[in-house]
Structure 1
């Protein structure tokens, strides 16, 4: 049913790459990618994941070093069966890019009490660890459902 899953955050360099790679690890038979709502606007398109997140992921046995940020597009929204976002406001942002996908856009934290996953960008190691932990919990719950 949900064979193509897109994980979305703002810049596609911290949260969504981790969500993408964790889901790929847990759901190897699914097509999973990630994108950013404002990758282009933030001049992050084509950039690697944030160094702090690369290091933290590596400490947890996850290699996201090959990731490159990409801008979320209307076409991309159409291509995926399920779009998972980090914050409630991201649902509106995705819907503004492509109103037709509202019904398939949900919080990554849906199954952990509909928690939002805060952006750790340019914050402390603890902020990155907190975000990573929530993403890890969330992807495990999604993997059970999918």
Structure 2
């Protein structure tokens, strides 16, 4: 049984909080704790306004999110760690080699698809990335 899921990206203001919100919504009835953090987080910053707008356009929300820096302790406490890009997985494993077996790409079930950072791009890029993240969340929700 997986009780704690950690979602990781770089800044923790676009991708990982979006996935956090989607997973929380999908898994709420199962009592699974979902959180997010960034490898180079914009600590205490709110979710990117365009990312939040796209999330809300699709019926989601995460209004009180604040960027959080990833720590070794976060990694050790998680049962499953979901990252957006292969280089994120590599950095996570460098920080805590013992978490290698529980660290995966969000796009694992989509042929290990990486999900690029839409930060500072147009809304259409955020929408595209949202669709990729939603596919990953759908797949993981069935596997967890």
Q: Which residue of 1 aligns with 2:59?
A: 61
Secondary structure of the corresponding residue to residue 104 of structure 2: strand
Does 1:34 find its partner at 2:36?
A: yes
The CA distance in 2 between the partners of 1:65 and 1:127, in whole Å, is 21
Counterpart residue number, 2:45:
47
In structure 1, what is the Cα distance between the partners aligned to 2:117 and 2:15? Answer: 7
Q: Does 1:11 align with 2:11?
A: yes
SS of the aligned residue for 1:26 comes to helix
How far 1:97 moved relative to its partner?
Answer: 1.5
Offset of residue 37 of structure 1: 0.6
Distance 1:102 1:49 in 2: 28
TM-score, normalised with respect to structure 2: 0.96
CA distance in 2, matches of 1:66, 1:59: 17
1:127 aligns to 2:117 (yes or no): no
Q: TM-score, normalised by structure 1?
A: 0.95
Three-state SS of the structure 2 residue aligned to 1:27 is helix
After TM superposition, which residue ranges in structure 1, 4 or more long, deviate above 4 angstroms? none
State the match for 1:111 in structure 2.
Answer: 109
1:81 aligns with 2:79: yes
